[in-house]
Amino acid sequence: MKRPYEKPVINKLRSGLMNKFGWSPAYARKVRTAIDGVSVDELCGQFGSPLFVYSERTARRTYRQMFNAFSTRYPNVEFGWSYKTNYLQAICALMHQEGSIAEVVSAMEYDKARLLGIPGEKIIFNGPHKPMAALEKAVVEGAVVNVDNLDEIVDLETVAKKLNRTVHVGMRLNLDAGIYPQWSRFGFNLESGQALDAAKRIARGGRLKLNGLHCHIGTFIMDPQAYAREITKMVKFGYELREAFGFEMESYDIGGGFPSKSRLKGVYLPPEVAIPGIDEFAEAITHAFSEALKPGDFPKLIIESGRAVIDEAGYLITSIVAAKRLADGTRAYVADGGVNLLFTAFWYKFNVELDREVGGINETSVIYGPLCMNIDAIDEGIQLPPLKRGTRLIFSPVGAYNNTQWLQFIEYRPNVVLVTESGEVEIIREAEDITDIQRRERLPKHLELKNGK
């Protein structure tokens, strides 16, 4: 009777690294044969590799958990789906079905939301670049426009004049919530008095009315108290505006930046331990909000949800196309998807799962992507058993920022599928082919090659 095979491995024992579980099959290895009940084999058989897979169930569950965390603590909560996190139509539509309005940061994103059937008044228009035409369209359609700078105030007044009516706008603030780096490039600074000056300017102009405040303190914020400091300052400022100019704040938009269960590179503790739960954030925020508000005031609390809602719903399945040994003896694998598809690999250490049980001792290994560039490494020190070509590596969580920031560089972008709640698999973005790459190009007559010459 032949025994099951595992590839031969020899590891030198090094002081400080003599931990059996660094190598052990039972503890360090994770196997995933299916996503929401659909087998990884079947998925790749039908849709190829690499392949982005979204779980509708996880996305909806996470959204509801997060929404409930806030709405059970404060009576007037609205979520704005942050398009830049993931603007695949299917994902946006799913978030809108759950009750989210749209939060867009460019003319392109605005168009996307409108095309999806979202009316202007259900769109929050943020960002430092709002071209005149887009601004006018947004105002006409009733979108919530959050002003980023003085020039934009002038633009909005021009629009108001043209439409011959008063236009309600929100103001983007930046403030010190104890988070570094402080995002001072967006909006008006609170502590220096810049925001108050801008409000004065708006009041003096007479064409605009401030009815909301917006702020976004950063990204992947791990301290719930930072949001508490943020909203306390915002509300205080809101009352100052009422006092000074009679502006009534109907909404406070505290932005997003909530962490997902991604593992930031260089953070020692696992995310389950290091990252506070969404309830802790909701508690800190709603508590500080209620403390700061005057009795009887219940302005709308707007949360820009993004990463924390969608990240964990996304997986990328890749396949090993080659195994090699580097000059120093380190085992290296080339996968068919790399940083071209996983932009977030630059700051996250992904959860890596294998599509099958593999025996043998783990070795420190490197996973490279398909690019001909040195930066294309998804993981530069992972404990893996020796893997055969064709073994699939499943990376997660990858639902946030990858399908918006991925690169087209030298490869086609692959299929993106959604495993629906009923277990069906739907393509939500088709794999690209050469026509997608060439469609917008024009080849001048004199550069056309005849017979390849």
Partner 1 sequence: MKDLAIGVSGINAVDNPGPGVGVARSLKEAEDLNARIIGLAYDAMEPGIYMDWVVDRSFIMPYPSGDGAAYFDRLAFIRDQQGLDVLIPNLDAELPLYLKRVGELKDMGIATFLPSMEQFKLRGKDKLAEVAERMDIKLPKTKVCTSLDQLIAAVDELGLPVMVKGSFYKAYAAYTTTQAVSHFHALVAEWGYPVIVQSIVSGEELNVIGVGDGAGGSLGIVGIKKISVTALGKIWTGVTIKHRPMLDAANRFIRELKWRGPFELECIVKGDDVYLIEINPRFPAWVYFATGVGVNLPARLVRHALGVDQPLAPDYEAGKLFVRYSYELVTDMVKFQQAVTRGEVG
Partner 2 sequence: MNRLSQLALSDEGFVFDPQTGDSFQVSETGMAVLRALKEGRSDEETAQQLVADFEVSLEEARRDCTDFRGQLKNFGLA
Q: Quick check: 2 binds partner 2 (CB under 8 A)? A: yes
The region of 9-17, 67-75, 125-133, 425-433 touching partner 1 under the rule CB under 8 A is: 9-17
Question: Which of partner 1, partner 2, none is residue 326 near (CB under 5 to 8 Å by kind)?
Answer: none
- 354-373 mask for partner 1 (x: CB under 8 A)? --------------------
Question: Which of partner 2, partner 1, none is residue 7 near (CB under 5 to 8 Å by kind)?
Answer: partner 2
* Paired tokens of 333: 């694998």
- DSSP notation for 296-345: T---EEEEEE-HHHHGGGEEEEEEEEEEEE-TTS-EEEEES--TTT-GGG
Measure the CA–CA gap between 231 and 363, rounded to whole angstroms: 48
Q: Quick check: 17 binds partner 1 (CB under 8 A)? A: yes
State the burial class of residue 266 (Cβ atoms within 10 Å of its Cβ: 0-12, 13-18, 19+).
Answer: exposed
Site size toward partner 2 (CB under 8 A) is 20
* Paired tokens of 101: 């309005």
Q: Quick check: 10 binds partner 2 (CB under 8 A)? A: yes
Q: Quick check: 8 binds partner 1 (CB under 8 A)? A: no
Nearer to partner 1, 48 or 360 (CB): 360
Which of 272, 328, 433, 441 is in the footprint of partner 2 by CB under 8 A? 328
Neighbouring-strand partners of residue 334: 322, 368
Q: Quick check: 26 binds partner 2 (CB under 8 A)? A: no
Q: Quick check: 180 binds partner 1 (CB under 8 A)? A: yes
Quote the least distance from Cβ 331 to partner 2, whole Å.
9
Nearer to partner 2, 34 or 322 (CB): 322
Q: Quick check: 204 binds partner 2 (CB under 8 A)? A: no
* Paired tokens of 419: 């495993």
Q: Quick check: 8 binds partner 2 (CB under 8 A)? A: yes
Nearer to partner 1, 167 or 267 (CB): 267
- Residue 191 carries which DSSP code? T
For 142, 187, 452, the CA distances from 203, given in Å and listed in that order, are 20, 17, 67
- 274-313 mask for partner 1 (x: CB under 8 A)? x---------------------------------------
Measure the CA–CA gap between 90 and 161, rounded to whole angstroms: 38
- Using the structure block, give the residue that is written with the tokens 């953070």: 267
Q: Quick check: 10 binds partner 1 (CB under 8 A)? A: no
Measure the CA–CA gap between 144 and 138, rounded to whole angstroms: 8
Question: Which of partner 1, partner 2, none is residue 178 near (CB under 5 to 8 Å by kind)?
Answer: partner 1
Question: Which of partner 1, partner 2, none is residue 329 near (CB under 5 to 8 Å by kind)?
Answer: partner 2
Quote the least distance from Cβ 418 to partner 1, whole Å.
28
- Using the structure block, give the residue that is written with the tokens 């169930």: 57
Question: Which of partner 1, partner 2, none is residue 270 near (CB under 5 to 8 Å by kind)?
Answer: partner 1
Nearer to partner 2, 19 or 408 (CB): 19
Which of 2, 268, 433, 452 is in the footprint of partner 1 by CB under 8 A? 268
Which of 4, 117, 266, 452 is in the footprint of partner 2 by CB under 8 A? 4
Question: Rg for the chain (alpha carbons), in Å?
Answer: 25
Nearer to partner 1, 23 or 247 (CB): 23
Measure the CA–CA gap between 203 and 246, rounded to whole angstroms: 9
Measure the CA–CA gap between 93 and 382, rounded to whole angstroms: 36
Measure the CA–CA gap between 191 and 174, rounded to whole angstroms: 9
Which of 42, 388, 412, 421 is in the footprint of partner 2 by CB under 8 A? 388
Long-range (24+ apart) CB contacts under 8 A made by 401-404 are: 401/84, 401/85, 401/86, 401/307, 401/343, 401/344, 402/52, 402/314, 402/316, 402/341, 402/342, 402/343, 402/344, 403/52, 403/86, 403/87, 403/88, 403/91, 403/314, 403/429, 404/84, 404/85, 404/86, 404/87
- Interacting residue ranges for partner 2, rule: CB under 8 A: 2-13, 23, 325, 328-329, 360-361, 386, 388
- Interacting residue ranges for partner 1, rule: CB under 8 A: 13, 15-22, 24, 27-28, 30, 178-182, 267-270, 272-274
